[in-house]
Structure 1
């Protein structure tokens, strides 16, 4: 996958810096994005006249086949073994990286703000100028998705919908005994639903480390994972954010369900949250800001008398988070759909997830996501929004 790196070239040119350097494994999304390579151990990516990689001998063949690199070098190409006889492993590594940079005519590099301190100090000791990139240049590049990236995100969302359907089926088929949901003769717990979600995702070549299945007062905390038996007549928030095992791209969707009869407040909150989400979705087009979209949600809630962080930054109930975020190689990335959110552009993939929360009542959240297009917005979610499960 080749991405537009013209803004990176401009960043380097404007600052008369020779190259951009990343020293990390591919779980660091900027490394994965720039290198196009997936490896569990740290490796070095240099952007200077294209992508240049420095990897271990173990990863050399695969890096040549799979990465975005113009060239791939090994530590052994720069006499690592001889350097190791003279220096400790840290200094030997730094001297190899310095030699790698010299090979590519690089005497100055920009690095991410979070970069190994020992590498930065070691390169400076070897007369390489190292400048921290506090502008998050690569992160900003990642905000605008290519067609291939959007395809990967669509695929993740189809897996997400299968997992949500499995969770909803469990709740639908559960019986109610003394106010608690039961399935297969046992209480249906948040843990059981999460396990079924994870298994369904694995069947579709996706996975996740965590998901949210939160009921009642647990659902009043937006990031409470939930625990214990699920209750009838109380809201159950299910928030699933799977990642492709091969692509590494995320999807993100939330639905709120009630098995039985919700309280009047939960009914009102659900309809209000649907209205707030619709207002946000209708507001999205190139040129508006994430702050504009966030304001559309706050307007709906505040007009109905519900507190928001915009109206009261100290509120502990009501709408107590931002409207959304970008999604891609990270489940939370740019652009922000929040106060001070940046201008939206075609290719941005963003979530819209308004919600209302109060421990005395429970919580409601509804989340879709999609891509900003040349003339509006395409919702990538194809899953119904229904509160009550019979």
Structure 2
């Protein structure tokens, strides 16, 4: 539970709009729900923010755990509002609405603000119950989440340590593989993207993290930034490994990318790696509170364009070169605010962002280097303690 959540901006909005409360109706896969409630459940539950606190409405199944774990001022059972009787008399949909309306009335809520993702059916049903419902269009909770507390930074740092262990295992496999007819071979079998991915997943599980998918992409596959990769890994080719796990207990993500080559990928590939490294360093050097995400992205583009490669800034239609933004916020979502892109706004102390320039071309392969950092008043703190180098080793962690 993040005990330092500051919902003052949301409450100021509610007061300005004349709303009595702000309601989230979702399960904990919604990052705003998890953040505000300090609770996780696989089924939807309701979190109400009012001037006097945060109030949860949960099923009887979740009540005991919510009462013990949630970061809320009060937790109510649906049974307290005759939920089962209302469902029996009016059906599931109407029963839920009447229960929710009674819960809102209990907390003095006549006018409600809801997030953009709020269920339309629930909003319409509450209006029929006499509750005024308006959508909060700015994503205030998402913006609040962008600035991390010290507690959150430490959770992300822990996730990145697990990430580094997984990256080290992947790099070790590549570094220790034999080369047979241009293919990497381990334990007498071709070393595949799938095998490396499996080892990454196993390592993360041992460190309390998990992921739905990762990127281990070799050669032309690596020239597509979101190609997950498949099949045998080849010598003399660029191999992009991008791992973005989530801590299973805290829910906070990490993110890191390294590019390796076992053997000699050629002069042009090495040059692209060097230019990407220079762009990564230029972006890092630009980061500070008050600098915009656009400034940081521009610093990376400057280096890449000066080296003779296209970017989306120099050619919005290019399919090769630097074809994505320099970074993004990381927290309870893998992609969240702030943006390190042409539209990125001011960076603030506590923003946790990735820095990940890259250069891509199917004829050469892909290069990407990514660290995870937290913005400070006068610069940044790197949450990543993993060396940057093209040649894989068995001792990569600093």
TM bucket, shorter chain: over 0.9
CA contact (8 A) 1:372 1:378 kept: yes
| Residue 287 of structure 2, aligned match among 284, 288, 298 | 284
What TM-score does the superposition give when structure 1 sets the normalisation length?
0.99
Question: Are positions 1:210 and 2:213 aligned together?
Answer: yes
What TM-score does the superposition give when structure 2 sets the normalisation length?
0.97
Specify the alignment match of 1:119 in structure 2. 122
Instruction: Summarize the alignment of residues 27-38 of structure 1 with structure 2, pairs less than 5 Å apart.
Output: 27-38=29-40
CA contact (8 A) 1:23 1:116 kept: yes
User: Could you say what secondary structure the match of 1:54 adopts?
Assistant: strand
CA contact (8 A) 1:24 1:44 kept: yes
Task: Find the aligned partners of 2:231 and 2:87 in 1 and give their Cα distance.
Answer: 54
| Residue 134 of structure 1, aligned match among 133, 137, 144 | 137
Offset at residue 389 of structure 1 (A)? 2.8
User: Could you say what secondary structure the match of 1:22 adopts?
Assistant: strand
CA RMSD between the two structures: 0.8
Offset at residue 83 of structure 1 (A)? 1.1
Aligned length: 390
Offset at residue 85 of structure 1 (A)? 2.5
Can you list the C-alpha shifts for 1:266-300, whole angstroms capped at 9, x where unaligned? Answer: 10011101110111100011101100100000111
CA contact (8 A) 2:172 2:392 kept: no
User: Could you say what secondary structure the match of 2:271 adopts?
Assistant: helix
User: Could you say what secondary structure the match of 2:28 adopts?
Assistant: coil
Moved more, 232-241 or 262-271: 262-271
Task: Find the aligned partners of 2:344 and 2:21 in 1 and give their Cα distance.
Answer: 29
CA contact (8 A) 1:260 1:389 kept: no
Specify the alignment match of 1:14 in structure 2. 16
Specify the alignment match of 1:348 in structure 2. 351
Can you list the C-alpha shifts for 1:65-93, whole angstroms capped at 9, x where unaligned? Answer: 10011111111100112212320101100
Instruction: Summarize the alignment of residues 44-193 of structure 1 with structure 2, pairs less than 5 Å apart.
Output: 44-48=46-50, 49-193=52-196
- Structure 2 unaligned residues grouped into runs of 5+: 394-398
Task: Find the aligned partners of 1:247 and 1:96 in 2 and give their Cα distance.
Answer: 30
CA contact (8 A) 2:287 2:296 kept: yes
| Residue 301 of structure 1, aligned match among 299, 304, 329 | 304
Offset at residue 175 of structure 1 (A)? 0.5
Offset at residue 329 of structure 1 (A)? 0.2
Specify the alignment match of 2:320 in structure 1. 317
User: Could you say what secondary structure the match of 1:40 adopts?
Assistant: coil
Can you list the C-alpha shifts for 1:320-379, whole angstroms capped at 9, x where unaligned? Answer: 000000000011000000011011000000000000000111000000011011221001
Question: Are positions 1:387 and 2:390 aligned together?
Answer: yes
CA contact (8 A) 1:26 1:40 kept: yes
Task: Find the aligned partners of 1:288 and 1:256 in 2 and give their Cα distance.
Answer: 28
Question: Are positions 1:236 and 2:216 aligned together?
Answer: no
CA contact (8 A) 1:261 1:388 kept: no
User: Could you say what secondary structure the match of 1:77 adopts?
Assistant: helix
User: Could you say what secondary structure the match of 1:192 adopts?
Assistant: helix
User: Could you say what secondary structure the match of 1:202 adopts?
Assistant: helix
Offset at residue 196 of structure 1 (A)? 0.2
